[in-house]
């Protein structure tokens, strides 16, 4: 009987609504304006609060109810499913539902409502149930442009929703950042987007110019249209146009109108720019001093940030009077680290000081054989504890990019504590000499800073990479790498220097890697007296003198062992050895210089704690060149020099001490 009763009620509702039962229509359609029409479907069940909207279930504030043959539903719940925003006018006691297309207004206890301001008769008066406004379902369906179908207890509402596609954006960028009136050709960079993926077919600009004629502020606006006929909102960029950029004005002055031969010329750059934006000043002919009489042309070219340039040439007059010869001038005024010319044969005539070496029990590993890498594998391995200095220098000739790794393995039964302190790396670079110079410079700088040790642990059986920074940048074919690092461990570790192709895990590869054969020329081995102290207590510098390094006579060759073969090894050149010289009595006005005796040399020295690179941005090429290391003042000084022979350079080298020429006015 209940089923029959519900069937009669539903049939009555269906007939009284005057709606036809409809089948599902097409889900979407496209209007001429490019909008899409989507069909929403809402399924209600008589006596239930469940609302199934497009397949998703929601809860109504109150169940759907039937009163006197009229079906009612909570106003707030049905409005939410239709996407209407609701509000309440307390003065008029009206409940309002508003969408982009309609505004529906209901009043408690009234069977009248309005749609878009037009009165309409409801099938039943709206009322309050448990605090919620209930409105007649049939009337809501009519006012919200819906169809209704009833099957048993289920009531299905359907309505069409116009889906407006998002508008495209007309975003753009104006370049360059600095725009000058009448000068800058402006570029407009397109950043327009369209969420629909449709192409653009048209655009409108307002205020666009390729060259802005006057300084000031301009607004450039753009709109774009896609192939669906949808125009974007206007997109505007404010462009600030600067006054025309004037070229800089090159100008300089010298401190005197004329100079003697060998007299220092002081140049003062007086160049100006309207934007105070000179980025480059280039002198030519501006020698620090001239050593021939006559008029010397000196040119200065300056360039501003926009590439505008200016050039000026002035004349420096040099008289016949001699203040200094070139040799005297260089000895007195060449900058620390700079090269000056010497008589290479005359240097050999300087007496060679026979210093005494005190060797310290410092461990050093030199991995330099094979210097030229031709395969992946283990360059060197050694079992060591306590402090060890590692030094390696290699050139990649394998034919593909590789990385070098320093690995440590704990073969014992207890955890090993280890640290690393001073370190320096040079390269990768195509120049072996530069790699050696940079690694020595950086290692000495690190050593002078006395860095705090970086502690870590290695568990029994574990292998760790000690110096991961050297593997960060691969060695391309023909690149060189040079490196130093000080490592300490409180128990024995097995160290391996490993070369692998880029991307391979060196720890995983280690058990399968072969030990590389020696190249028969260079050195690899472990050396146990690798720090050398040299104390010279005699006064030095009052007469010319030289101190030789790498000569195999006074600076004797350090011996050690190649732990991969067990053979005796000689550290030819003593690369990796750390020298500490203390000169107790260096005469007043003494030039300390470095002279290359074996050919090319470039490296670094700590002189009284200050880094000196030899030879600054160059290299000593032969024995006719020296580089300034230090000059003492007007009184005797103690001088400390710390260095290591730079990889990639040639030996021997001579450190020379000679009196400076007299100063003249």
Look at residue 17 in the predicted model and tell me its pLDDT.
Answer: 36
Does residue 21 have a pLDDT over 80? no
**Which residues are CB-contacts of 52 (< 8 A; sequence separation ≥ 6)?**
42, 43, 58
Q: What is the pLDDT of residue 163?
A: 67
2, pLDDT greater than 80:
no
| Tokens 């992946």, located at residue | 376
* In contact, 188 and 203? CB cutoff 8 Å: no
- Express each pLDDT in 285-316 by its tens digit: 999 999 999 999 999 999 998 899 999 999 99
DSSP state letters, 157-222: EEEEEEEPPPPPB--EEEE-SSEETTTPPPEEEE--B-TT-PPEEEEEEES--SS--SSEEEEEEE
Peptide bond into 370 cis (omega under 30): yes
Q: Does residue 211 register a pLDDT over 90? A: yes
Phi, psi for residue 512 in degrees, rounded to 5: -105, 0
Say whether pLDDT at 258 is over 60.
Answer: yes
Residue pLDDT, tens place only, 319-359:
999 999 999 999 999 999 999 999 999 999 999 999 999 99
Task: Spell out the residues 6+ positions from residue 10 whose beta carbon is closer than 8 angstroms to its own.
Answer: 46, 150, 152, 153
pLDDT tens digits for range 433-445: 999 999 999 999 9
Mean pLDDT of 496-506: 96
Report d(CA 231, CA 331) in Å as an integer.
77
What pLDDT score was predicted for residue 4? 35
Burial class (CB in 10 A: 0-12, 13-18, 19+), 129: middle
pLDDT, residue 113, reads: 96
Q: Is pLDDT above 70 for 647?
A: yes
Query: Is 70 exceeded by the pLDDT of residue 387?
Result: yes
Residue 59 in 3-state DSSP?
strand
| Closest C-alpha among 399, 393, 390 to residue 421 | 390
Reported as a single tens digit per residue, the pLDDT across 92-145 is: 999 999 998 899 999 999 999 999 999 999 999 999 999 899 999 999 999 999
CA distance 580 to 606: 9
Tell me the average pLDDT across 393-421. 96
Q: Count the neighbouring beta carbons within 10 Å of the beta carbon of residue 187.
A: 10
Q: What are phi and psi of 137, to 5 degrees?
A: -65, -40
User: pTM for this one?
Assistant: 0.67
Query: Which residue do the tokens 């290692």 mark?
Result: 443
State the chain's mean pLDDT as an integer. Answer: 91
Supply 357's token pair: 């070496």
Instruction: Please state the rounded mean pLDDT for residues 57-69.
Output: 93
Residue 24 has pLDDT above 50, yes or no: no
- DSSP state letter for 512: G
pLDDT of residue 37: 67
Please give the average per-residue pLDDT across 409-419, as a whole number: 96
pLDDT digits (tens, 9 = 90+) for 34-60: 455 678 999 999 999 999 999 999 999
Classify 292 as helix, strand or coil: coil
- Model confidence at 482: pLDDT above 50: yes
Q: Using pLDDT thresholds of 50, 70 and 90, give the confidence band for residue 275.
A: confident
A 10 A CB-CB count for 312 gives 15
Helix (H) or strand (E) holding 86: strand 85-89
φ, ψ of residue 15 to 5 degrees: the values are -70, -40
φ/ψ of 269, rounded to 5, equals -80, 115
Scan for tokens 């260089």, then name that residue.
330
List strand residue ranges (DSSP E) for 410-528, in order: 416-429, 454-458, 463-465, 480-501, 524-527
Lowest mean pLDDT among 32-36, 74-78, 151-155: 32-36
Residue 453 · residue 420 · CB < 8 Å: yes
The torsion angles phi and psi of 99, rounded to 5 degrees, stand at -125, -175
């Amino acid at each position: 009987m209940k089923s029959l009763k519900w069937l009669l009620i539903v049939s009555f509702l269906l007939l009284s609504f005057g709606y036809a039962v409809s089948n599902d229509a097409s889900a979407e359609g496209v209007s001429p304006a490019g909008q899409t029409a989507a069909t929403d479907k809402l399924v209600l069940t008589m006596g239930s609060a469940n609302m199934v909207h497009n397949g998703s279930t929601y809860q109504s504030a109150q169940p759907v109810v039937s009163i006197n043959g009229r079906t009612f539903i909570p106003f707030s719940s049905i409005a939410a499913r239709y996407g209407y925003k609701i509000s309440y006018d307390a003065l008029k006691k009206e409940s309002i539902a508003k969408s982009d297309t309609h505004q529906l207004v209901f009043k408690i206890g009234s069977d009248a409502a309005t749609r878009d301001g037009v009165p309409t008769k409801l099938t039943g008066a709206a009322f309050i149930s448990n605090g919620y406004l209930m409105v007649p379902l049939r009337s809501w369906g009519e006012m919200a442009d819906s169809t209704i179908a009833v099957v048993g207890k289920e009531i299905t509402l359907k309505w069409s929703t116009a889906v407006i596609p998002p508008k495209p954006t007309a975003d753009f960028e104006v370049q360059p950042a600095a725009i000058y009136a009448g000068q800058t050709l402006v570029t407009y960079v397109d950043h327009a987007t369209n969420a629909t993926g449709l192409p653009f077919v048209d655009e409108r600009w307002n205020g666009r110019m390729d060259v802005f004629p006057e300084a000031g502020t301009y607004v450039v606006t753009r709109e774009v249209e896609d192939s669906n006929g949808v125009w974007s909102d206007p997109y505007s960029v404010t462009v600030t146009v600067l006054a025309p950029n004037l070229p800089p004005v090159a100008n300089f002055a010298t401190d005197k109108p004329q100079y003697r031969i060998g007299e220092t010329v002081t140049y003062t750059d007086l160049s100006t720019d309207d934007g105070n934006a000179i980025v480059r000043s280039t002198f030519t002919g501006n020698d620090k001093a001239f050593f021939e009489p006559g008029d010397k042309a000196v040119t200065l070219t300056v360039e501003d940030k926009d590439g505008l340039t200016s050039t000026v040439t002035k004349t420096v007059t040099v008289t016949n009077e001699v203040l200094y010869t070139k040799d005297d001038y260089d000895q007195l005024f060449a900058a620390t680290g700079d090269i000056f010319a010497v008589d290479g044969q005359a240097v050999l005539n300087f007496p060679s000081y026979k210093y005494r070496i005190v060797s310290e029990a410092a461990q050093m590993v030199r991995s330099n054989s094979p210097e030229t890498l031709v395969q992946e594998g283990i360059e060197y391995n050694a079992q060591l504890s306590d402090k060890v200095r590692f030094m390696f220098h290699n050139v990649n000739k394998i034919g593909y990019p590789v990385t070098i790794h320093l690995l440590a393995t704990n073969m014992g039964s207890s955890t090993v504590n280890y640290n690393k302190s001073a370190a320096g790396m040079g390269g990768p670079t195509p120049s072996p000499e530069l790699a050696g110079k940079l690694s020595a410079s950086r290692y000495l700088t690190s050593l002078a800073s006395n860095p705090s040790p970086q502690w870590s642990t290695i568990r029994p059986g574990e292998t760790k990479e000690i110096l991961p920074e050297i593997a960060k940048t691969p060695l391309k074919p023909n690149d060189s790498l040079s490196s130093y690092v000080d490592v300490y461990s409180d128990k024995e570790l097995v160290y391996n220097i490993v070369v692998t192709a880029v991307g391979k895990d060196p720890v995983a590869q280690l058990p399968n890697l072969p030990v590389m054969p020696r190249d028969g020329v260079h050195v690899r081995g472990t050396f146990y007296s690798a720090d050398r102290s040299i104390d010279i207590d005699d006064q030095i510098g009052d007469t010319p003198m030289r101190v030789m390094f790498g000569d195999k006579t006074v600076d004797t060759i350090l011996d050690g062992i190649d732990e991969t073969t067990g053979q005796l090894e000689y550290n030819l050149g003593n690369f990796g050895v750390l020298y500490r010289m203390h000169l107790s009595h260096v005469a007043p006005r003494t030039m300390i210089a470095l002279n290359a005796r074996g050919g090319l040399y470039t490296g670094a020295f700590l002189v009284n704690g200050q880094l000196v690179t030899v030879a600054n941005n160059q290299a000593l090429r032969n024995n006719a060149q020296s580089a300034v290391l230090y000059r003492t003042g007007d009184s005797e000084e103690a001088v400390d020099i710390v260095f290591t022979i730079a990889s990639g350079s040639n030996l021997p080298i001579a450190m020379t001490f000679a009196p400076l020429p007299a100063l003249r006015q």
